[in-house]
Amino acid sequence: MSATYRVAVRALCDFTAREGDLDHRFTPAPSAREGIEGHTLVASRRGEGYIAELPLSGAFEGLRVTGRADGFDPVANRLEEIKTHRGSLERMADNQRALHWAQVKVYGALLCKARGLERITLVLVYLEIASGKETLISQDATADELQAFFVEQCQRFLAWAEQEAVHRQDRDSGLQALRFPHAAFRPGQRELAEDVYKAASTGRCLLAQAPTGIGKTMGTLFPMLSAMPRQQLDRIAFLTMKTPGRRLALDALATLREEDLPLRVLELVAREKACEYPDRACHGESCPLAAGFYDRLPAARQAAVDQGWLDRAALREVALAHDVCPYYLGQELARWADVIVGDVNHWFDSHALLHGLAQANDWRTGVLVDEAHNLVERARGMYSAELDQQRFNRVRRAAPKPLSRPLGRLARQWQAAIKEAGLEEEGEPGKPAYRLQTALPEKLVNAAQQVGAAITDHLGEHPEDASLELQELLFEALAFCRLAEHFGEHSLCDLIRQGRGRAVLGLRNLIPADFLAPRFKAAHASVLFSATLTPAHYYRDLLGLPENTVWREVSSPFAARQLEVRIRSDISTRFRDRDASIDPIVATLAQEYQRKPGHYLAFFSSFAYLDATLARFREAHPEVPVFSQTRGMPETQREAFLARFTPGGKGIGFAVLGGAFAEGIDLPGDRLIGAFIATLGLPPFNDFNEALKARLTARFGQGDDYTYRIPGMIKVVQAAGRVIRSPEDQGVVVLMDDRFAQASVRALLPSWWSLGNPTPLI
């Protein structure tokens, strides 16, 4: 092997020593925090000379193996591998124990080589989290025996390592010769590509505001791939908010690979979408694709990397050809792909797969985030959690008897929290009662922690009691309590009561920056791009972007003459003025349609506002075709709604701002010639948003803008962006609210728009 290939001990053993079934049935495993605390506890029980987290490394031919052994006692000449667990060790699968032995043996070989030891005692230390009891399993081994085991593992991995080194060399050579796949860049696309390349070259974060229609997907992928060999990037993660974004990325990558570029591309999809047997449990005794998974994995893995192109369909084909689970084959291949296309949660969520792999393997990663204006809200959701009293009550009625005491304690704390919040009496009919909490209800949280521990311990001893609802309650309690441990100024707590026994305790993240900042730091370079990333400081503050983040606005390829933007300054869409606004809005829609019949979208702030205006419009103008978005619209109906926008067609589609039709849809040419926006898109004025405003004012001094004005205008600009999709499009946008005439609001509109003087209804 000409070049040194570096691999971590754990990754080496995962590759060479796993065998048997895939088994993802519920097992009450310790959390990461409990695991760290368990390692610390074991180390504290050892003698003074005990060395914890001992760094070790060694080489075999062109392979360099590195890692940290959990603990070594030089006096006793004893090397320990510490594993935390819950419940009886008897239920630990044999293949899991074999993997643990492989790890400690490799560490033993490295240690004997480093210290010139002739023999050593190897110990697997199993620490039961609930009791603190240690179970020690030991064996003596000679240095020669361990070296032979080390060589065997390295030889089993070496062919793969050599293959990977050759692939890396071929990939980088191909990328150095990569040429833009089209005859010319679109207007603005070269500018975007240059900025992305600079960000990758300098290891910076880039916020790129670029209008729709310039080819942002290719304009970001091409330069990041070009920088890959020069910056020694290991992986590129292209992350999207929705499935259509993944499809665009895959289409661009398919175009780039047409030149026989040796680039491995993997699409990651959600488990529920990849599962072949959704009615089966995920273990070898239930699912045929889990039985013998690790025995068949090597052949499936090899076939997959040989194919190289692994979108959802291709990955499924490879997996089923080798009788393995497509989802878990995808999880394995995330270790070996060059470009991974997936959801933003694969990097930014608390248990993100790609971030975890990057940390474990010291990857240099380029991260591309599409439609990045949505990341604030998506990340808030990732770091929020709820406790549902109704779910708890259902579980309590059918729970195993040993859980009655902790569940009863939690029930009492629910009632105490509701009483303390003054929510004993139900609110107005049909409206939930709501209270912001000044602090976490500690007794309720403690009771939830005790319930989580009790269920975990019980299921450790009685796995047959693991009902779906009991597991859901456990996961809900654990998720809430994990976030409660980090509760601070970035989050708030609220209590909603919708009736007797129907309360929800929420831990709501307000400022995702505190959780996301380490994720941006872990990436070599990050590029966040969207048509709406103004103002830059909003995203810098709320996402925790590095201080040296660069903001760029790509010049629009569209001319002001393409889009007529008019403001109806005599209309107020404030809540108190809604009824009075309906007639002038109806008149505005009708006048524009009669002036130029065609397809339009009309956006409103709520379904109630939409329905009232639609009813009035139908009554006044029955000759105009209209159709409407509805609450909870299923995918088939959404597709039918969009299918109405045919070339040369006519009609007005009524929709909600910020909904399914306000962004991410493409209706070029005369499929859509105009949009009416009857709202500033401001979030509702309520206790929660006022608390958010206060928190953002205290942190950033921008409470009103960050809570109301900026999020609202992002929705407005996204909705208006449906109209002009290419340099050939022509259209109109009518903004209906007097506040659009304010300088502070107009400053948040695209710079290429030509805004005339506000005009009243004629």
Task: Give the CATH number for residue 67.
Answer: 3.90.320.10
pLDDT higher for 129 or 65? 65
Across the range 577-584, mean pLDDT stands at 96
Contact 493, 437 (CB under 8 A): yes
pLDDT higher for 568 or 23? 568
Across the range 249-267, mean pLDDT stands at 93
Residues 716-752 have pLDDT tens digits of 999 999 998 887 889 999 999 999 999 999 999 988 8
pLDDT at 535 over 50: yes
Task: Give the CATH number for residue 201.
Answer: 3.40.50.300
The reply to whether 721 and 621 lie within a common domain is: yes
Which range marks the domain in which residue 48 is found? 5-159
Task: Categorize the per-residue pLDDT at 762 as very low, low, confident or very high, splitting at 50, 70 and 90.
Answer: very low
- Gap between the Cα atoms of 283 and 290, Å rounded: 5
Of 235, 270, 269, 238, whose CA–CA distance to 251 is shortest? Answer: 238
Residues 654-686 have pLDDT tens digits of 999 999 899 888 898 999 999 999 999 999 999
Contact 266, 395 (CB under 8 A): no
The reply to whether 422 and 438 lie within a common domain is: yes
Other C-beta atoms within 10 Å of 151: how many?
14
The reply to whether 226 and 369 lie within a common domain is: yes
Domain boundary among the residues 143, 159, 175 is at 159
The reply to whether 260 and 278 lie within a common domain is: no
Contact 604, 612 (CB under 8 A): no
Task: Categorize the per-residue pLDDT at 432 as very low, low, confident or very high, splitting at 50, 70 and 90.
Answer: confident
Q: Which residues pair with 654 in a beta bridge?
A: 602, 628
- Gap between the Cα atoms of 334 and 317, Å rounded: 17
Three-state DSSP class for residue 265: strand
Mean pLDDT score across all residues of the chain: 92
pLDDT at 62 over 80: yes
pTM of the model: 0.91
pLDDT at 338: 98
Binning the chain into helix, strand and coil, the percentages to the nearest 5 are: 50, 20, 35
pLDDT at 131: 84
Compute the C-alpha angle 183/261/202, nearest 5°.
80
Of 729, 355, 758, whose CA–CA distance to 561 is shortest? Answer: 729
Token look-up 């009662």 returns 433
The reply to whether 263 and 275 lie within a common domain is: no
The answer to whether residue 526 is domain-embedded is yes
The reply to whether 118 and 27 lie within a common domain is: yes
pLDDT at 388: 94
The answer to whether residue 754 is domain-embedded is no
State the total domains in the chain.
Answer: 5
Of 80, 368, 360, whose CA–CA distance to 225 is shortest? Answer: 368
Residue 309: is it exposed, middle or buried by C-beta count within 10 angstroms (0-12/13-18/19+)?
A: middle
Across the range 576-601, mean pLDDT stands at 96
pLDDT at 428 over 70: no
The answer to whether residue 20 is domain-embedded is yes
pLDDT at 637: 94
Contact 530, 513 (CB under 8 A): no
Residues 499-520 have pLDDT tens digits of 888 999 999 999 999 999 999 9
Of 142, 96, 102, whose CA–CA distance to 121 is shortest? Answer: 142
The answer to whether residue 172 is domain-embedded is no
Of 73, 52, 68, whose CA–CA distance to 103 is shortest? Answer: 68
The reply to whether 693 and 618 lie within a common domain is: yes
The answer to whether residue 752 is domain-embedded is no
pLDDT at 426 over 80: no
pLDDT at 727: 79
- Gap between the Cα atoms of 527 and 745, Å rounded: 27
- Gap between the Cα atoms of 385 and 248, Å rounded: 32
pLDDT at 27: 65
Task: Categorize the per-residue pLDDT at 759 as very low, low, confident or very high, splitting at 50, 70 and 90.
Answer: low
The reply to whether 600 and 733 lie within a common domain is: yes
The answer to whether residue 760 is domain-embedded is no
pLDDT at 465 over 50: yes
The reply to whether 648 and 549 lie within a common domain is: no
Residues 164-203 have pLDDT tens digits of 999 999 999 999 999 999 999 988 999 999 999 999 999 9
The reply to whether 262 and 275 lie within a common domain is: no
The answer to whether residue 740 is domain-embedded is yes
Q: Side chain identity at 86, as an amino acid letter?
A: R
Across the range 338-353, mean pLDDT stands at 96
Residues 267-316 have pLDDT tens digits of 999 999 999 998 888 888 889 999 999 999 999 999 999 999 999 999 99
The reply to whether 302 and 372 lie within a common domain is: no
C-alpha to C-alpha distances, 94 to 17, 20, 364, 678, 687, nearest whole angstrom: 12, 9, 35, 64, 54
The answer to whether residue 714 is domain-embedded is yes
Contact 216, 252 (CB under 8 A): no
Token look-up 């889009």 returns 563
Q: What percent of the chain has pLDDT over 90?
A: 77
The reply to whether 408 and 374 lie within a common domain is: no
* Residue 340 backbone dihedrals phi, psi, to 5 degrees: -115, 125
pLDDT at 430 over 70: no
